[in-house]
């Protein structure tokens, strides 16, 4: 019954090469499932379509920098206040990646439609005036509102084949607790056919059962649980540690060129095991631990 | 949070582009970011519900300042964490920071997306762009041809909702001819579209752009032409400097008042909030 | 800034007579906002359309029994293992109420559409084979899926004018914490133009701020907060007390006839103030308090 | 929870109608509800994800029994609270009970509605009806004309999803000619619709009804005609008694085996779970 797997086994078993649609969880510099992303790079799994949350960051840029992504569906790839995403930018400007230009509403509602088996999802009136739908006729179309007769912009459902997600804790059956902000990670889990979960910590089910209402991913949606404390580094892991501006700065400066990102990958991803990576990051992770406060994990419901 | 002195972020990837603003005049006891926060705060009302997105330290500080001065009833939502009324001690550079959850409440991101679509709940939306045009349209996607851009931006996130939600407050740290253009190359955040005719026929539910705050000046929109017009210039800035830095014909009605400088009380509040000094840089 | 109001003021101020669409929160025998419902009866507010959660109970049956409801949109009105809803049943069999026959998926997705400003909401394939859409062409229609060309069953958005909801706690600005199960109460709050909240307890904002992530209704959606400890009686209030089978049994037996329900209303609603009602219920409420366990309210996030 | 000896609930309002089953034979050491729980449990697999709705003490007990015997990996969701694998000490009569949140996890109701629509996650759906017909269609809405029914039922809740989700397990405490009819007056929970031709042309993704458990017998469906057929009769029940209580022509292939009685081990587990005795009544 246990879904605990090593990082390499999880990716080997559940991510086919040239996966049709791979979703990466987390948002901006937070809760990026970087251990799983790095393992995808190590195993050189190519990706037909990469889907980000409304705001992708290193989780997308690293895969693009590794040359693994044919097409990306996103409403943002960047490093927020730290700057643009160098590999995404370079690939788009060079025409070496296809972009399905999306907006936040479509990504969120599209995942809802994917999770719920809805054939498509209408989008609020007003969204049709931006140029986004004009350049993405794969994701956007129009149909008739049968109640008013008006034409309405709609989006296609998003049903990722595989989602890579981070959670704070999970039990070995995949019941997971998201700490801090949830972003659209739960929706991604609901919409995706296969869910790989990296967690800071595996805990007994009794621990999860202490706060059932806050437990946001039920184990029956999860295929594999990988325990990688520190696995979001250099992005933040809500409830555990903040993002690492030093390492992100290093990435951003090296990734300014194709050669540079190659060197970064060799030094920090393909040339090292995940254990070696985390060993090296451990002094920084210790500095970046969040200060004291109440538990980041909700506690509620009934005992027993 | 010991993150060191992160420079104050420009909006959405614009950080990588040169900011051509002159160095902060040494005689000024406040930074331009602080002045901009005060300008944005002044526009917020006690009954507003404001929402902000990526890299939003400046609007966060503006909202908190407004709450602590004239608008105690203001609600504000930090997109990303979707915390409601974050306590901001200190201001953080990321809109998704765990520390933003020191807040009155927090709701799921999907709920904020719903409310942006509902349209009647959120009254203020902060926006920006790689390009901002004479009608207040914003572009966070691509400079040049979309299919093969000369500068690929990060993407639009929630800016298409500008057409639907309350008043739009635009801010940017980059007042240059590259940012302020006659017409955006790609419309990712709707302003007054192509002007009065197109705006009227679109029948949008949002109120459109209301304010543009830059390191040089504060601008609004002419009610007739719906084009950007100068409202005040910041202390020490010349009107010609603004004109030169603007890539379209900016409406100017003489005389143009000077933006009021932040008061000591406002600065004191801002600096209490901003103990990491995110707003000190520029 | 305070939204605290007395029960009578809240209903007087925010519920117009013949309110176009009134939604009642809670599900089955749980978290029914009965104090607000009773006050609606005392003030004899008529209701154009009553919307229940997927499963209405006393919250709907009492309003129907009081003769206030023209039309009901629901997928269930009943008393679960205790039996059918006597007034709903009688009114429908007599043809004295119009029914918008709904299913659970439509009510949930329809509220999502109403909250999000979506013009309509597609429903999953397969739902079109039941007889529900055939008898309710107000709520259901068909349109074309522009991505496949197929005909799809869709639902109209649900945008209640007023929602009556129960929450465990709220501060005076309306930031509310739902204890236990949330049912569709948060969706109702998001979709409704006016939200009246009855709570077991008003607490300082600092108390709410201790667990922001579990706080599910933000105050800016709420127009009035009414503190009525025990106000869900005779239904359960998650985190506080269980439902009262004695009182529900009394209702079910009296409401078997129109005269009986009139007598029940006179004795337990219109003829008494809410204070008198709760005074009388207090010994039962004391017996029905949930046993010890962890706090029913989530605790998470950052301090301060 | 001291709620006293609530009678075991019939499904969805059927409780008000007379149950015409003979009194429990005194020589039986188990109740018919207990036997039914064992029958339902036997059908559940280790890799199932089961969901149940209103007044679901019986399927709750069946799922927990399965977990504690042959199917430890089974997942089950109590609709209403949407708790996942409630610990059930004791079994509760309401699907929304606060005590169901003593569980491994819990998810929002809206998420369960999504997953019912997605269709490939939930593999077992428990159902019932005021009327159940020869093709396993269920009716929780109205007996007679919908617009002016002779009996108005409570409503269909999630039963339209039966067309979409895994295997449907039907149970009812009322095995009478009023419940088991040739064709439901109102189709609120799709079974095999009008039979093989209509079922095939509908192209539904669900597997259709798989099992019907009543106080008298266990039934399945004939693979060819898709009509209900007798599988086993419960101990002490005569085949003619079943035929008489069924309002359509029930397929019967001689010999009809007798349903296995609950084992002492099964009864011991059930009674541990059901300390309030909800399953003891009938």
Which domain CATH number covers C208?
3.40.1080.10
pLDDT for residue B26 is more than 70: no
Q: pLDDT above 70 covers what percent of chain B?
A: 89
CB A49 within 8 A of CB A70: yes
Contact A213 D101 (CB under 8 A): yes
C178 and C274 belong to one structural domain: yes
| Cβ–Cβ below 8 Å for C212 and B118 | no
Residue A256 with chain B: CB contacts under 8 Å? none
Cα–Cα distance between D8 and A109 in angstroms, integer? Answer: 42
Band of pLDDT at residue A50, cut at 50, 70 and 90: very high
Enumerate the residues of chain A whose CB falls inside 8 A of the CB of residue C289.
Answer: none
Contacts for A58 with CB less than 8 Å, ≥ 6 apart: A29, A32, A34, A37, A79, A234, A235, A248, A251
Q: List subunits contacting chain D, requiring 3 or more Cβ pairs under 8 Å.
A: A, C
Cβ atoms of A201 and A227 within 8 Å: the answer is yes
Do C115 and B115 lie within an 8 Å CB cutoff?
Answer: yes
Q: Do the domain assignments include residue B136?
A: yes
Contact B280, B31 (CB under 8 A): yes
Q: What angle do CA C141, C145, C151 make, to 5 degrees?
A: 50
CATH number at residue B134: 3.40.1080.10
Q: Tell me, what DSSP letter sits at residue C293?
A: -
Q: Decide if D164 and A205 are in contact by the 8 Å CB cutoff.
A: no
* Interchain contact, C209 vs B75, CB within 8 Å: no
Do A82 and A179 sit in the same domain of this protein?
Answer: yes
Per-residue pLDDT at B17 exceeds 60:
no
* Separation in Å, CA of A122 to nearest CA in chain C: 6
Separation between Cα atoms, residue D249 and residue D229, nearest integer Å: 9
**Nearest CA to CA, how far is C101 from chain B (Å)?**
25
How close, in Å, is residue B145 to chain A by CA atoms?
10
In A198-257, the residues whose Cβ lies within 8 Å of chain B are 236, 238-239, 242-243, 245
List CB contacts (< 8 A) between A127 and chain B: 160-161, 163-164
Give the total number of structural domains in chain D.
1
Per-residue model confidence as pLDDT tens digits over C94-110 = 999 999 999 999 999 99
* Peptide bond before residue B90 is cis, with ω within 30 degrees of 0: yes
Per residue in C186-245, pLDDT tens?
Answer: 999 999 999 999 999 999 998 888 777 767 899 999 999 999 999 999 999 999 999 999
The size of the A-D interface in CB pairs under 8 A is 81
For residue A114, tell me if it sits in a domain: no
Residue C56 has pLDDT above 60, yes or no: yes
Chain D residue nearest residue C107, CA to CA: D157
A86-94 vs A258-265: helix axis angle to the nearest 10? 140
Q: Across the interface, which of A115, A208, A212 has its CB nearest the CB of D118?
A: A115
Subunit contact C146:A142, Cβ cutoff 8 A = yes
Judgement on whether residues C197 and C272 belong to the same structural domain of the protein: yes
- Across the interface, do A76 and B147 touch by the CB < 8 Å criterion? no
- Cβ contact (<8 Å) for C301 and B103? yes
Cβ-based contacts of A301 with chain D (< 8 Å): 101-103, 106
Chain D interface, best mutation among C94, C104, C289, C290, by max D CB count within 10 A: C104
The answer, yes or no, to whether residue A303 has pLDDT greater than 80, is no
Q: By the 8 A CB rule, do B199 and B206 touch?
A: no
- Residue B18 in any domain: the answer is no
Point out the residue among B4, B110, B149 whose CB comes nearest to the CB of A92.
B149
For residue C291, the chain D residues in CB contact (below 8 A) are 1
CB pairs < 8 Å spanning C and D: 197
Q: Which of C122, C76, C69, C82 is CA-nearest to residue C102?
A: C76
Strand partners, C196: C164, C224
Chain segment A155-169, per-residue pLDDT in tens: 999 999 999 999 999
Mean pLDDT of B189-201: 97
Handedness of CA A78, A80, A82, A84 (dihedral sign): positive
Tell me which chain C residue has its CA closest to the CA of residue D83. Answer: C181
pLDDT mean over B47-64: 94
Is the pLDDT assigned to residue A287 strictly greater than 80? yes
Cβ pairs A/B, distance under 8 A: 196
Confidence band for C152, pLDDT divided at 50, 70 and 90: very high
A5 with A226: CB under 8 angstroms?
Answer: yes
pLDDT at residue B18 in the model? 33
Strand-pair category, D83-86 with D103-106: antiparallel
Q: What is the largest CA-CA distance in chain C?
A: 62
Contacts of D90 (CB under 8 A, 6+ apart): D1, D273, D274, D275, D276, D278
Let me know if residue A15 belongs to a domain.
yes
Let me know whether A235 and A91 are in one domain: yes
Residue A295, in any domain of the structure: no
Domain total in chain A: 2
Q: What's the gap in Å between the CA of C170 and the closest CA on chain A?
A: 17
**D158 lies in a domain?**
yes
Q: Say which DSSP state D256 is in.
A: P
CA-to-CA distance for C4 and C170, rounded, in angstroms? 10
Least confident of A37-46, B125-134, B244-253, B266-275: B266-275
ipTM for this prediction: 0.94
Which residues on chain C are in Cβ contact (under 8 Å) with A124? 116-118
d(CA A161, CA A163): 7
Residue D271 has pLDDT above 50, yes or no: yes
pLDDT at B15 over 90: no
Mutate to test the interface with C, among B82, B103, B105 (most CBs of C within 10 A): B105
State the average pLDDT over residues D27-51: 93
Q: Which domain holds residue D245?
A: 26-264
- Tokens linked to D56: 């679901």
**A70-79 pLDDT tens trace:** 999 999 999 9
Question: What are the backbone angles phi and psi of residue D271, rounded to the nearest 5°?
Answer: -75, -30
- Residue to mutate among D1, D105, D109, with most A CBs inside 10 A, is D105
Task: Determine phi and psi for D25, rounding to 5 degrees.
Answer: -60, 130
Residue D1 in any domain: the answer is no
Residues A73 and A137 in one domain: no
Closest-CA distance, B115 to chain C, in angstroms, reads 6
- Subunits with 3+ Cβ pairs within 8 Å of A are B, C, D
Distance from CA of D179 to the nearest CA of A (A): 32
Same domain membership, residue A144 and residue A14: no
Check CB contact of B130 with chain A, cutoff 8 Å.
Answer: no
CB contact under 8 A, B161 and A290: no
B118·C304 Cβ contact <8 A: no
Between these two residues, A215 and C2, which has the higher pLDDT value? Answer: C2
Instruction: Give C261-290 pLDDT, tens digit per residue.
Output: 999 999 999 999 999 999 999 999 999 999
Q: Quote the domain boundaries for residue C235.
A: 7-101+159-288
For residue D227, pLDDT beyond 80: yes
Q: Do A304 and D87 touch (CB under 8 A)?
A: yes
Q: Please indicate, yes or no, whether residues A32 and A142 belong to a single structural domain of this protein.
A: no
Does residue A88 share a domain with residue A191?
yes
Pair C276, C131 in one domain: no
pLDDT reading at B19 higher than 70:
no
Structure tokens at D35: 């036997």
- Percentage of chain A beyond pLDDT 90 is 91
Q: What is the mean pLDDT of chain B?
A: 89
Partner residue opposite B187 with nearest CB, options A28, A130, A242: A130
Nearest to residue C230, comparing CAs of C244, C251, C249? C244
pLDDT reading at B35 higher than 90: yes
**pLDDT over 80 at A85, yes or no:** yes
Contact D62, D88 (CB under 8 A): no
Nearest Cα neighbor of A153 from A183, A171, A130 is: A130
Residue D99 lies in a domain: yes
In this structure, is residue B5 part of a structural domain?
no
Q: Which of B154, B159, B209, B281 to mutate to test the interface with A (most CBs of A within 10 A)?
A: B154
Q: Mutation test of the interface with chain B: which of C218, C297, C300, choosing the one with the most B Cβ atoms within 10 A?
A: C218
Same domain, A200 and A87: yes
Decide if C304 is inside a domain. no
Compare all CA atoms of chain D with the CA of A205 and give the residue at the minimum distance. Answer: D104
Q: What is the pLDDT of residue D275?
A: 87
Work out the average pLDDT over C125-144. Answer: 97
- Whether D244 is in a domain gets the answer yes
Q: Does C132 touch chain D (CB under 8 A)?
A: yes
B-chain residues within 8 Å CB-CB of C304?
87, 89, 102
C216 touches chain A (CB under 8 A): no
Q: Provide CB contacts within 8 A for C149, sequence distance 6+.
A: none
**pTM given for the model:** 0.95
Q: For residue A293, what pLDDT band results from cuts at 50, 70 and 90?
A: low
B279 domain-assigned: no
Does A250 map to a domain?
A: yes
**Which chain D residues are within 8 Å of A208, Cβ to Cβ?**
104-105
- Average pLDDT of the residues of chain C: 94
Query: C209 vs B103: CB contact, 8 Å cut-off?
Result: yes
Among A116, A115, A222, A103, residue whose Cα is nearest residue A160? A115
Please determine, for residue D134, whether its predicted confidence score (pLDDT) is greater than 70: yes
Which residue did the predictor score with more confidence, D34 or B89? Answer: D34
């Amino acid at each position: 019954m246990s879904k605990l797997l090593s990082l390499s086994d999880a990716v080997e078993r559940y991510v086919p090469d040239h996966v049709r649609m791979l979703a990466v969880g987390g948002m901006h510099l937070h809760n990026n499932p970087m251990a799983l992303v790095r393992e995808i790079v190590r195993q050189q799994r190519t990706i037909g379509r990469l889907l980000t949350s409304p705001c992708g960051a290193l989780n997308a840029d690293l895969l693009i920098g590794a040359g693994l992504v044919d097409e990306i569906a996103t409403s943002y790839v960047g490093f927020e206040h730290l700057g643009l995403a160098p590999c995404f930018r370079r690939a788009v400007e060079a025409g070496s990646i296809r972009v399905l230009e999306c907006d936040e509403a479509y990504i969120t509602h599209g995942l809802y439609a994917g999770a719920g088996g809805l054939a498509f999802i209408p989008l609020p009136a007003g969204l049709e005036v931006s140029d986004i739908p004009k350049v993405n006729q794969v994701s956007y179309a129009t149909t008739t509102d049968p109640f008013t007769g008006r034409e309405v912009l709609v989006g296609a459902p998003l049903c990722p084949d595989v989602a890579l997600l981070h959670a704070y804790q999970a039990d070995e059956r995949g019941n997971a607790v998201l700490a801090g902000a949830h972003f659209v990670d739960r929706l991604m889990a609901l919409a995706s056919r296969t869910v790989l979960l990296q967690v800071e910590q595996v805990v007994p089910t009794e621990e999860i059962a202490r706060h059932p209402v806050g437990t946001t991913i039920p184990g029956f949606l999860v295929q594999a649980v990988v325990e990688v404390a520190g696995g979001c580094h250099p992005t933040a892991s809500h409830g555990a540690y903040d993002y690492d501006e030093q390492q992100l700065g290093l990435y951003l400066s090296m990734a300014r060129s194709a050669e540079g990102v190659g060197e970064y990958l060799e030094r920090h991803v393909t040339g090292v095991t995940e254990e070696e990576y985390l060993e090296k990051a451990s002094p920084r992770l210790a500095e970046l631990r969040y200060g004291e406060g109440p538990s980041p994990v909700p506690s509620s419901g009934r005992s027993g | 949070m010991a993150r060191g002195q992160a420079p104050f972020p420009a909006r959405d990837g614009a950080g990588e582009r040169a900011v051509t603003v002159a160095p902060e005049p040494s005689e000024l006891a406040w930074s331009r970011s602080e002045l901009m926060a005060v300008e944005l705060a002044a526009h917020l009302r006690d009954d507003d519900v404001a929402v902000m997105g990526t890299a939003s330290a400046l609007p966060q500080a503006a909202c908190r300042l407004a709450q602590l001065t004239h608008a105690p009833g203001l609600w504000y939502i930090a997109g990303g964490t979707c915390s409601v009324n974050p306590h901001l001690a200190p201001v953080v550079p990321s809109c998704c920071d765990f520390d933003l959850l020191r807040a009155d409440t927090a709701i799921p991101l999907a709920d904020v997306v719903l409310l942006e679509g509902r349209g009647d709940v959120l009254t203020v939306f902060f926006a920006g762009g790689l390009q901002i045009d004479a009608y207040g349209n914003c572009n966070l996607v691509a400079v040049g041809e979309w299919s093969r851009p000369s500068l690929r931006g990060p993407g639009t996130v929630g800016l298409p909702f500008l057409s639907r939600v309350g008043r739009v407050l635009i801010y940017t740290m980059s007042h240059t001819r590259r940012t302020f253009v006659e017409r955006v190359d790609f419309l990712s955040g709707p302003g007054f579209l192509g002007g009065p005719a197109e705006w009227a026929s679109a029948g949008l539910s949002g109120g459109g752009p209301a304010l543009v705050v830059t390191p040089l000046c504060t601008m609004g929109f002419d009610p007739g032409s719906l084009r950007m017009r100068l409202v005040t210039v910041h202390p020490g800035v010349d009107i010609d400097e603004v004109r030169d830095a603007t890539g379209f014909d900016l409406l100017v009605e003489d005389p143009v008042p000077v933006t009021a400088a932040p008061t000591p009380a406002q600065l004191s509040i801002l600096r209490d909030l901003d103990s990491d000094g995110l707003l000190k840089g520029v």
